[in-house]
Amino acid sequence: MSELLSFTLFIASVAIYAFKAGRNTFWFIATLLVLGLCVILNITLYASNYFTGEGITDAVLYTLTSSLTGAGISKYLLPGAGIAVALVAVFGALAWILRRRRHHPGHYGYSVLALVLALASVDASPAFQQITDLVKSQTRDGDPDFSAWYKEPRATIENPKLNLVYIYAESLERTYFDDAAFPQLAPELGALKNSGIDFSHTAQLPGTDYTIAGMVASQCGIPLFAPFEGNASASVSSFFPQNVCLGDILKNSGYENYFMQGANLRFAGKDVFLKSHGFDHLYGAEELKSVVADPAYRNDWGFYDDTVLDEVWKTYQKLSSEGKRFSLFTLTVDTHHPDGFISRTCKRKSYSIDDKPNQSFSAVTCSQEHIAALIEKIKASPWFKDTVIVVSSDHLAMNNTAWKYLTKQDRNNLFFVLRGDQPQQDLVAVKRNTMDNGATVLDMLGGDNFIGLGRSSLSGQSLSEVFLNMKEKVLAWKPDIIRLWKFPTHIDAFTVDTDKKMIAFSDTRFRLPLLLRVSETRVEPLPESEYSAPLRFQLADFTPRDRFIWIDACYKMARLWQPELSLSTDWCVAQGQLGGKQQVQRVDSARWRGNAAFTQSVIDTARYQHNVDALKVVDNDIRYKADSFVFNVAGAPEEVKQFSGISRPESWGRWSNAQLGDEVKIEYRTSLPEKFDLVITAKAYGPNAGKPVPVRVGKSEQTLTLSDEVTTTILHFDNPTRSNTLTITPPDPQVTNEGNILGHAPRQLGIGMVDIKVVARNG
């Protein structure tokens, strides 16, 4: 109903402005922007619903505000491009329609009415309502009985005897195992499920409906509700820091905790969560590429399930034969929406429904085969008697090509257990949810029968049985769960740890670099990641009076407020107000202690604008005072007019990048000396080592030969034409991801430059 109302108001706004309003630039722009916002909101809702089936949820907000590194987005590039083109077309059409009466005098009343209707259309849209509800859910008081139901388990298991293999099967819900609905879809894993303890009614609750949320729910007994202000959850170095989770208990009990998956560990912050809660051995796409037999055998997300589960088996053998007490967690990926991936070693590569092959079902029948094969190998090993095997879906399947068939069924998550010490076949049909999984496993291993809001389904009562509407209860507890993050509300003293690249204050630690917006009532952390703007651009959006603390490389801030440090790559701390005073301090020890000290000062608008303009200068346009081109900082010396073919600064210098230009070209503001020495400190990448590198100034050319180690070479140039341009042509640029930012396209590296200096020569 609200969708129809929003659409009606939208059309009414367009019609009234187009046929009655007349010419007025302000009202035209305002109405176009609000109507455009309405379109964007509805497209956002449509796109979110495509993934979640429930519109704009916590899953959408968390994923967008966390690390997207390693996300398998290639299948969405074409639809995304289509949406972008459609948006441009819609805005163009709206602008054309609204300007129909541009030659008529403006009519104030109709203009106001059109804008009010446009605003009402936004307010009535389901997307706006969902976003509003999410914001409200972050700020309300919570439910006073949360502390009565949230239970913290003991930190250890007394005399543990069993090892644990825990398999998270991506989107592999229990519904797929309904042989009446999907005959012979999962025969191998289904037979194993029926031979163990099968929990048939594991519900999915809010905050547990995507991979990292399902992991948090199953290990910590709470939904994943995170604060989204300033993308803070992406920069925090710990994940629910005060919670005792399954991994913590296992580590405290002498277990070595392992986690293995084919995708990148940084996606959605899985690495932060696991490291925060007892896991010291993590293997994802980056860690496995030097271990697996065929590093090129990958899908959009990472390594196929057959590759990963083979490494899991090898690790299980190694740890078992060494007599280690261990837990070995793994996460599959081949059944990921929208349609999954088929590995090359599957016996069955296709599954048909309604007489047509279906990719999602095919991925399911393939992946379950690999999971079953791993379990059979463990069962046949001499170590199975000391092992508990858990198989669970991380969450219900999202909108995939099997969606219309799944949604016709009574859907539940998969959770079954195979005990090597006590073989048991049982169907447990009690009402439960995924928060109960960790508590059930802990109970089997000899620990408590509760974790957080989770209860063991063997000796306890799930809260899904206690409350008539567990979904509503979880949402009522959302503010209480968010408070478990312990995000700080003030900052006085703080410590910068340069070895760990962390800042600690108010019992919380954050990764560096970091920008903090500090007010009287809260501290808002603003991180820098591969998908957020550089911190200086984020700082440029502060108001003149906003107080800030900025911890970053000295050269990024010192050029504004401490010129003598403008070439330093050490850590520095800047604090103050953009419209007032600022101070910069160099971090001169491994554990440096500072204080939040904001000097009272008069706010100056001109000073503020100067700072904002300086912060927004793009890297290649930055200029510094130096007698040489220093490549490990952004920009160039003042004598350089422009340059090209050079990649971003790294700690040692910069690579040439043929994707940005076939040659390194440095154009100086004035003519180079008629006779000069060119002092180049550089190295070569890969096969460029030992090959001649042409270096030209005007018509004069010299040859540079580099090794794979940094060396300094002096070239003598005569420049009778007084050219002002230096060009260096790497002989054999190589396409590589070495040293690249995760998630970025490969670079074409040739030579690595540390320093270039022009020294005039007499005679």
Is residue 268 within 8 A of residue 394, CB to CB? The reply is no
- Counting beta carbons within 10 angstroms of the beta carbon of residue 461, is it exposed (0 to 12), middle (13 to 18) or buried (19 or more)? middle
Whole-angstrom distance, CA of residue 482 vs CA of residue 484? 5
Whole-angstrom distance, CA of residue 332 vs CA of residue 236? 26
Locate 626 and state its tokens: 């130096």
In the chain the first and final C-alpha atoms are separated, in Å, by 87
Locate 753 and state its tokens: 């430059």
Whole-angstrom distance, CA of residue 751 vs CA of residue 760? 25
Residue with token string 């341009």: 725
Close Cβ partners of 77 (under 8 Å, ≥ 6 residues apart)? none
Burial letters 682-706, b for 16+ CB under 10 A, else e: bbbbeebeeeebebbbbeeebebeb
Phi-psi region of 340 (alpha: psi -120 to 50; beta: other; left: phi over 0): left
DSSP 162-200: -EEEEEEETT--GGGG-TTTSTTSSHHHHHHHHHSEEE-
Whole-angstrom distance, CA of residue 47 vs CA of residue 623? 43
Whole-angstrom distance, CA of residue 237 vs CA of residue 429? 39
Phi, psi of 111 (to 5 degrees): -65, -45
Is residue 123 within 8 A of residue 132, CB to CB? The reply is no
Whole-angstrom distance, CA of residue 539 vs CA of residue 526? 9
Is residue 739 within 8 A of residue 650, CB to CB? The reply is yes
Are β-strands 514-518 and 523-527 bridged in parallel, bridged antiparallel, or unpaired?
A: antiparallel
Burial letters 332-356, b for 16+ CB under 10 A, else e: bbbbbbbbbbbbebbeeeebebeee
Close Cβ partners of 209 (under 8 Å, ≥ 6 residues apart)? 52, 54, 57, 59, 395, 396
Locate 245 and state its tokens: 């989770």
Q: Is 741 helix (H, G, I), strand (E, B) or coil?
A: coil
DSSP 577-606: ETTS-EEEEE--SSEEEEE---------HH
Query: Cβ–Cβ contacts within 10 Å for residue 145, how many?
Result: 12
Could you tell me which of 378, 406, 402, 407 has the C-alpha nearest to residue 390?
378
Query: What are the counts of helices (DSSP H) followed by strands (DSSP E) for the chain?
Result: 22, 36
Could you tell me which of 311, 251, 301 has the C-alpha nearest to residue 276?
251
661 alpha carbon, distance to own chain's centre: 30
Is residue 555 within 8 A of residue 633, CB to CB? The reply is yes
Diameter over CA atoms, the chain: 95
Whole-angstrom distance, CA of residue 127 vs CA of residue 117? 17
Whole-angstrom distance, CA of residue 645 vs CA of residue 655? 9
* Model pTM score: 0.69
Q: Is 109 helix (H, G, I), strand (E, B) or coil?
A: helix
25-52 and 2-16 helices, crossing angle to 10°: 160
Q: What is the DSSP letter of 506?
A: T
Whole-angstrom distance, CA of residue 162 vs CA of residue 326? 8
pLDDT mean by block of 10 residues, the chain; 763 residues: 78 77 73 79 72 64 55 53 68 70 64 81 79 67 84 94 97 96 96 97 94 95 75 57 92 96 86 89 91 91 95 97 96 92 94 94 97 98 97 93 92 97 93 98 97 96 96 91 82 92 84 89 76 82 94 93 93 95 94 89 91 93 94 95 95 94 95 95 96 95 95 95 96 86 77 96 78
Q: What is the DSSP letter of 263?
A: B
Close Cβ partners of 214 (under 8 Å, ≥ 6 residues apart)? 168, 208, 393, 394, 395, 434
Locate 444 and state its tokens: 């089997």
Locate 656 and state its tokens: 């040439």
Whole-angstrom distance, CA of residue 336 vs CA of residue 60? 16
Whole-angstrom distance, CA of residue 374 vs CA of residue 119? 57
Locate 52 and state its tokens: 């979640």
The dihedral through the CA atoms of 133, 139, 144, 148 has a sign that is positive
Is residue 335 within 8 A of residue 371, CB to CB? The reply is no
Q: What is the pLDDT of residue 70?
A: 47
- Give the chain's domains with CATH numbers: 2-139 (no CATH), 147-483 (3.40.720.10), 493-617 (no CATH), 623-760 (2.60.120.430)
Query: Cβ–Cβ contacts within 10 Å for residue 515, how many?
Result: 23
Locate 216 and state its tokens: 């948090």
Q: What is the pLDDT of residue 234?
A: 45
Whole-angstrom distance, CA of residue 424 vs CA of residue 677? 81
In DSSP terms, which residues pair with 760 in a beta bridge? 676
Whole-angstrom distance, CA of residue 618 vs CA of residue 556? 11
Q: Is 4 helix (H, G, I), strand (E, B) or coil?
A: helix
Locate 295 and state its tokens: 């590093």
Whole-angstrom distance, CA of residue 688 vs CA of residue 729? 11
Are β-strands 493-497 and 454-455 bridged in parallel, bridged antiparallel, or unpaired?
A: unpaired
Whole-angstrom distance, CA of residue 643 vs CA of residue 699? 19
